[in-house]
Amino acid sequence: MVIIGSSRKALARSPILSPQSFLIHYPELNIRLDYDFNTPAFTEAQCHALYSTLHVLPEKMRRTVYLISKENLREGNPAYSTSYGKIVMSSRPIPLRNWTMSFLHELGHLIDFRFLPIEQARHWQELSTLSGSEPDHFVSGYAQVGEIREDFAKTFALYLIDTLGFLALAQEQAAIGKTILMEKFKFMVAIFSLKLDAFYTRVFRLQFKSDESESRLIMQRRMVPIPDQGVPALENSLSSINF
């Protein structure tokens, strides 16, 4: 079920605005979208970003999100999440690109908190610990200085934003003998894998399209077989789908 707006006041004031009703057409998302009475509703572009980035995920991952809300957060704090499945986005005007990146990062925290089986969580902990303080073992500086959970969220977000860019980075490191980043890449390949006629994984690409009046995004996903070495075999991929 989708519930839009928890505040009676808000509903009375504005009987379902078009941006708010956006998710109502997609009940399979099963996520409550909410906003504080004192903050503006989600914009249409933000609703579209939420829809695309959530819809592209396997359902079990999507189910880690229970509520997405907006709050008046301090400047410099674009979003946060809680272990019971809530993602809070800042109500400040933030460019859609940064807004979406922050959302995907918080989504990464929920996958970590609520999706990873205990064995995989332990495996991530090992990888992150092995990374030490070597920058080449991380996808970004923030993942490096942050702790294990930040490393996971950043790495998960990069896999969704640009799987192949991530693969290229991991291959570059592996070519000079630094293989931990490749192990992290393979970790993400595994959590996005599924069995069809053979084992496949989901490969993603997030693109932004802007014109003067609005900014939009497209999430692309394709299924790519994963042979024994755990790296997607792109030449045999199925065609991509836009979300």
Q: Which amino acid is present at 220?
A: Q
Q: How far is the CB of 164 from Zn ion (least distance, A)?
A: 24
Binding mask 147-166 for Zn ion (x = CB under 5 A): ---x--x-------------
Tell me 4's DSSP state. Answer: B
143 binds Zn ion (CB under 5 A): no
Piece of 91-99, 133-141, 142-150, 194-202 that binds Zn ion (CB under 5 A): 142-150
Piece of 10-18, 58-66, 88-96, 143-151 that binds Zn ion (CB under 5 A): 143-151
DSSP string, 181-220: HHHHHHHHHHHTEEESSSEEEEEEEEEEEE-SS-EEEEEE
Judged by CB, which is closer to Zn ion: 157, or 180?
A: 157
Judged by CB, which is closer to Zn ion: 29, or 153?
A: 153
Q: Please, are residues 142 and 162 in contact by the beta-carbon 8 Å criterion?
A: no
Q: How far is the CB of 154 from Zn ion (least distance, A)?
A: 8
Q: Please, are residues 217 and 210 in contact by the beta-carbon 8 Å criterion?
A: no
Q: Which amino acid is present at 80?
A: Y
Q: How far is the CB of 87 from Zn ion (least distance, A)?
A: 11
Q: How far is the CB of 112 from Zn ion (least distance, A)?
A: 10
Strand order in the sheet with 32-33: 32-33, 67-71, 86-90, 79-82
CA-closest candidate to residue 219, choices 238, 203, 206: 206
Ramachandran sector of residue 36 (left: φ over 0; alpha: ψ -120 to 50; beta: rest)? beta
Q: Which structure tokens are listed for 227?
A: 């042979």
Q: Please, are residues 39 and 10 in contact by the beta-carbon 8 Å criterion?
A: no
Judged by CB, which is closer to Zn ion: 148, or 233?
A: 148
Piece of 11-19, 145-153, 201-209, 234-242 that binds Zn ion (CB under 5 A): 145-153
Q: How far is the CB of 86 from Zn ion (least distance, A)?
A: 14
Binding mask 95-124 for Zn ion (x = CB under 5 A): ------------------------------
List beta partners, residue 81: 87
Judged by CB, which is closer to Zn ion: 80, or 243?
A: 80
Q: How far is the CB of 171 from Zn ion (least distance, A)?
A: 26
The owner of tokens 């490191």 is 173
Q: How far is the CB of 103 from Zn ion (least distance, A)?
A: 12
Judged by CB, which is closer to Zn ion: 67, or 233?
A: 67
Tell me how far the alpha carbon of residue 4 is from its chain's centroid: 22
Q: Contact positions toward Zn ion, by CB under 5 A? A: 150, 153
